[in-house]
Structure 1
């Protein structure tokens, strides 16, 4: 059976993926330095270590390496630290994988690499990063392309461009949990700018389905979007959560630096390779996320049903 090493395994997507793969009987080696906190309990057997200490011997223990570890805050990336950290970690993983015997590397990137463009974003679109975080991910993708040509036949690197995955254990710095937490406290849902910026939202369970399909297939394209193919405005999201919970009010702050007006994944390539994109109904997914988040929320407040 395929053995998988996951970096960022205590994070939002990493911990969920670790649990899903283990539930399916797949051996997982989880690695995380715990520099980003998570609401989900740490996976059993977690190796608490800096990803940059992983060696070829470590990666030789796995058939597939899934690299999810990152500091993902776009605003914080304008500070020097997060940008340099991500770039160094990504470079280490790509070069160490190339020198190892592991067969496959799935490398997390982001829709942020596309920058400001109109319409659904296909994998062959030009890249136009507008933040240090996105610049770092573009650099990682280019580095992966260089190393892809150094691999022996049968080995592969696939870059996964994640759009906006959400779910109950996501950190409160992301838009969906921030809005849900504000509603739970009957407080202000803070919108940056006019709220017309649109985001492609994918429930964590749908993201896990897409990732397991990729793992189950022997080949994957060099670059692959992971999203729903549908986008909604931040204002609509806030209004939907207020309607769902019956709590909270909308307030506005200054627009984000270099804010992108819309991210919508073109999922044609995914559907060609793996079949229909799983799409949980957004309102149902928000209700499920609210219920499970309130149950897991640290120092949770009492919230009416």
Structure 2
């Protein structure tokens, strides 16, 4: 598989994934709507860096523009598609839920239709740990039921998983759903906690700490995450001959070439410890504003990454302190702070 189409290449994860694939000699075409959910200048900076590689090309259009999307598929003829573009952000889904339906449901449907029509060899779609919702058995396993989503964002991602399973069953399209756990790192989104904390602390502004800091997250460094995605491109699911043929612990569907895979650091970190590490890295204390838990938030996430390791021989391992230091180095350089 040499031609890979990635949706969302001007985004945080898509940018890093495209960089990795380009260094390995793949031809990458990016598809990005350049929406103004956050600073478009940051998105354009990412794309400008990618454009310096002759193996990269890009289209600027919305996923909802089905005709434009299908034309791109027809011209580029991807072997694999990695669908990362989405309306992100748990909290923003409380303010503008329709944006999530348009992008995460309609947009994903259009990607699946285009991939089905061209019979791509592997379709990989970004999901989220938020689909585990009210589940409280941890670490989260892909084989657990995930039927209790707590936000529209999570619900649209679970809807995408359900649609993708139906397409894999009906059309035999090999599909892998990627459940991400609290991704952070250089070139991160301004709405992510690490970005907001570093920016506020350096400027002497207070930071909001929800649930009085009693939150736990499985922080996953972005370069670890995209390495996992890259390796999963080659782990193409196949429809099993029978239920008995599925290895215990594998989320492979008994009726479709479809699998769900967690990509997380498998290390539950207390939010207050994360903030302490940021302060140590910056050499400056935060002004802390402790607040109750926000609507739709879950107090903890924690990934079981055994399946990822079994399929690829790899699991994320960057310590959150090292990841924070790398982010701060990028942030200071990019903003001159």
Normalising by structure 2, what TM-score?
0.83
| Match among 111, 115, 125 for residue 97 of structure 1 | 115
> Within 2, Cα distance between the matches of 1:261 and 1:193?
8
**Which residue number corresponds to residue 235 of structure 1?**
272
**Which residue number corresponds to residue 260 of structure 2?**
223
| Match among 274, 289, 304 for residue 266 of structure 1 | 304
Q: Secondary structure at the match of 2:213?
A: coil
| Match among 254, 259, 282 for residue 245 of structure 1 | 282
**Which residue number corresponds to residue 210 of structure 1?**
228
Alpha-carbon contact 2:264-2:316 (below 8 Å) kept: no
The Cα of 1:19 is off from its aligned counterpart by 1.3
**Which residue number corresponds to residue 193 of structure 1?**
211
> Within 2, Cα distance between the matches of 1:258 and 1:77?
10
Correspondence 1:82 to 2:120: no
Per mean C-alpha deviation after superposition, the further-off stretch among 119-128 and 79-88 is 79-88
Correspondence 1:174 to 2:192: yes
Alpha-carbon contact 2:175-2:236 (below 8 Å) kept: no
> Within 1, Cα distance between the matches of 2:283 and 2:208?
16
**Which residue number corresponds to residue 137 of structure 1?**
157
Correspondence 1:48 to 2:73: no
**Which residue number corresponds to residue 148 of structure 1?**
168
The Cα of 1:219 is off from its aligned counterpart by 4.0
Alpha-carbon contact 1:191-1:252 (below 8 Å) kept: yes
Q: Secondary structure at the match of 1:161?
A: strand
How well do the aligned residues superpose, as a CA RMSD in angstroms?
1.8
Q: Secondary structure at the match of 1:194?
A: helix
Query: Structure 1 residues 196, 238: closer, same or farther in 2, change over 3 A?
Result: same
**Which residue number corresponds to residue 124 of structure 1?**
143
**Which residue number corresponds to residue 25 of structure 1?**
25
Correspondence 1:286 to 2:324: yes
The Cα of 1:81 is off from its aligned counterpart by 2.5
> Within 2, Cα distance between the matches of 1:236 and 1:190?
15
Structure 2, unpaired ranges of 5+: 52-56, 239-251, 253-258
Alpha-carbon contact 2:175-2:237 (below 8 Å) kept: no
The Cα of 1:189 is off from its aligned counterpart by 2.4
Alpha-carbon contact 1:238-1:250 (below 8 Å) kept: no
| Match among 69, 83, 88 for residue 67 of structure 1 | 83
Residues matched between the structures, number: 297
Q: Secondary structure at the match of 2:17?
A: helix
> Within 1, Cα distance between the matches of 2:46 and 2:155?
32
Query: Structure 1 residues 287, 55: closer, same or farther in 2, change over 3 A?
Result: closer
Structure 1, unpaired ranges of 5+: none
Alpha-carbon contact 2:220-2:316 (below 8 Å) kept: no
The Cα of 1:95 is off from its aligned counterpart by 2.4
Alpha-carbon contact 2:221-2:318 (below 8 Å) kept: yes
The Cα of 1:177 is off from its aligned counterpart by 1.2
**Which residue number corresponds to residue 58 of structure 1?**
72
Alpha-carbon contact 1:198-1:233 (below 8 Å) kept: yes
The Cα of 1:180 is off from its aligned counterpart by 1.6
**Which residue number corresponds to residue 248 of structure 2?**
none
The Cα of 1:105 is off from its aligned counterpart by 0.7
Q: Secondary structure at the match of 2:226?
A: helix
Q: Secondary structure at the match of 2:212?
A: coil
Deviations 1:52-98 (A, max 9, x none): 33444533410011111111111111233322222211122122222
Q: Secondary structure at the match of 2:290?
A: strand
The Cα of 1:102 is off from its aligned counterpart by 1.6
The Cα of 1:146 is off from its aligned counterpart by 0.6
Per mean C-alpha deviation after superposition, the further-off stretch among 56-65 and 105-114 is 56-65
